[in-house]
A and B are shown apart, each in its own frame.
Chain A
Amino acid sequence: MSIIKMLDGFSSENLMKKKSSRREMFNTLGSFGKKAAAAAVPFGLATNKAKAAAFFQEGTSPVEALQFALLLERLENQFYLMALESGVLDGRPARAEQVFMDISAHESAHVDFLVANLTDAGVDVSAEPTFDFTAGGTFDPFNTNGNADASYAQLLALAQAFEDTGVRAYKGQAPNLMNTPYLEPALQIHSVEARHASAIRRIRGTQGWITGNGDNAMAPNVQAAMDAYEMVYAGEGVTTQGGVDLTTLDYSGPSGNDAIVGDMTEAITQAFDEPLGMEDVNMIASLFIAADDSEDSDN
């Protein structure tokens, strides 16, 4: 708890303003302005270093979890920056660009937050890999090939996959952060990713929550994309939680009048999001890491 209060003390009121004008910054700075922009947003987190360092010496698992989270945040951050620079959102519903700008600001803040916490704990932050959001030429989300509609569709489809994967990844790492000051902020990031996922999904015209194994996830009609979606949503369709088979419960409730509307199994799968382990998430992320750079992701 205390880490949040301490971090709050270092938050700058101007930070969101700076972040909201991020797009203009990039138009000025050019396509590789990300690092410069990060430097332009001072984010000193003079947390309780002694405590954090002491903690990190006790085990490596939480560090691995945070490094892993950082990889995903960097992937998302880079994706949204490139998306906003690409112009693919021009002429699309205003809400889409607004959502991308908000998400971009959040992902950038998440990267800064994780880097600062790892650094303050005395951990060497792993190098940022080079991302390839075409996945080796499979996708063209930033419209380098001149098909604007297809690029827009792919941009949204990838955003959804990244957000839903992010939700699953943080959920999967929560146990590794138990009894550490990093569990709570990780949960606080986790729910923001879920807000993102819901917003993106609704822009695409589907529900904000996941039905079955991504039955409502609207995979793009490309085999490689369908395969990727299968990985992203594998296991989401479970109907047993904590040993309780939810299909057998009585939902009538205290009034006796409650009843699930529509398909009960679908509703049950929607009501719980499932975690995804580091290995599975890394497989998904590796699709978007340039081949000659993929080793960095394992640090």
Chain B
Amino acid sequence: MKKPVVKVDFVDESPKNGKFKSRRRFIKLGGLAFAGSSFLMYSCSEDDDFNPAGEGPDPEPEPEEPEEPEEPEEPAAFDLGSGDVGILNYAFALEQLEAAFYGAVRGGSYYSGAPDNEKAVIDALYNHEVIHREFFRTAITAAVGDGNEDMVLPDLEFNLDSVDLSSRQEVLETALLLENTGVGAYNGAGDRLETTDYLVIAGKIVSVEARHAAAVYELLNPDSGIAAEETIDENGLDDANDPSTVIEAAGGFITTEFTATQLPEPMTS
């Protein structure tokens, strides 16, 4: 099952996460290069105990139990936070994942043997995601203000062992999955943002992710049209996904524990 062609395992320099480096068990779902999340906790309104696999070594307390004070010796996992900062951190997490993925792809044998036009696509996607990642790091740091740097999502660790980086099909399918996940995430997050400028910036990024998705789709399906029937409905509307759905889709690659318990609800009256 596991094909550790390459291991993306960043050294986490953040002392905050020093205790969350333990590898978790990954599962491969339905042939997709994809792992189940057992360590992300998502809580918004309707999904208070979102924990898809629920079999990690550190199970959550029983939902019925009343709030318990945190055990002092165990530092809390990073929480994405509330309000706009929470959404920005959420986007930052996705951009970190995408950047890490394309960085790993560029070190793999599919890439090294790929034709120039495919290399050019991978290079561009890598560039764009790295730029998005560093933009969010800088923008969130500025948004939280001096002395609040601990509100900025730290560098996450990833495990991409489930993707065979020598396989064109697996690499491109995973790329498409990540790009479509990004599109659905940004589309679903737009109406949770309070600040106009952040909404516009999210819009500037999501259309680039959609451009990526279309390019990768074409590489996978050179004779098809736009199709992407998985994501575009009969009204001609792309996906708009809630954070719980997105975190479930992307979380399998993320080994750093974090929580999303305070993300804002959509602000559509």
Contacts and interface: CB of A to CB of B under 8 A. Distances in A.
Interface string A165-184: 00100110011001111011
A53 to B, nearest CB: 13
Nearest to B265: A1
A268 interface: yes
Interface residues of A, number: 81
B155 A246 contact: no
Contacts of B225: 95, 98-103, 199
B203 A187 contact: yes
A46 interface: no
B124 interface: yes
A220 B190 CA distance: 36
Contacts of B235: 7, 11, 109-110, 112-113, 185
A183 B240 CA distance: 11
A241 B213 contact: no
A210 to B, nearest CB: 8
A213 interface: no
Contact of A270 (B127, B133, B197, B199): B127
Contacts of B267: 178-179
Interface string A106-117: 111110110000
**Size class of the contact patch on chain B:** 35 or more
A275 B204 contact: yes
Interface string A1-15: 111100110011001
A83 interface: no
A106 B226 contact: yes
B204 A194 contact: no
Given A199-B218, A209-B128, A55 B190 contact: no
Contacts of B133: 253
Given A4-B240, A244-B142, A258 B226 contact: no
Contacts of B11: 254-255
Contact of A102 (B99, B138, B226): B226
B223 A183 contact: no
A198 interface: yes
B155 to A, nearest CB: 4
Given A199-B225, A270-B208, A255 B215 contact: no
Contact of A275 (B188, B203, B210): B203
A167 B199 contact: no
B250 to A, nearest CB: 17
A262 B197 contact: no
Given A183-B268, A255-B10, A258-B130, A95 B222 contact: yes
B230 interface: no
B148 interface: no
B201 to A, nearest CB: 5
Contact of B269 (A102, A179, A244): A179
A174 B198 CA distance: 11
Contact of B124 (A16, A199, A207): A207
A242 B11 CA distance: 29
B269 A275 contact: no
B131 A260 contact: yes
Interface in B126-145: 126-128, 130-135, 138-139, 142
A246 B204 CA distance: 14
Contacts of A207: 120, 124
Give the residue among B201, B226, B236, B237 with the most A Cβ atoms within 10 A: B236
User: 5 tightest CB-CB pairs across the interface, nearest first?
Assistant: A109-B236, A98-B225, A194-B210, A198-B214, A102-B225
23 contacts: A15-B234, A55-B269, A99-B225, A109-B234, A112-B235, A171-B207, A174-B199, A181-B268, A184-B190, A187-B203, A188-B240, A190-B207, A191-B209, A195-B228, A199-B218, A202-B218, A208-B214, A244-B142, A253-B134, A260-B131, A267-B127, A271-B128, A275-B204
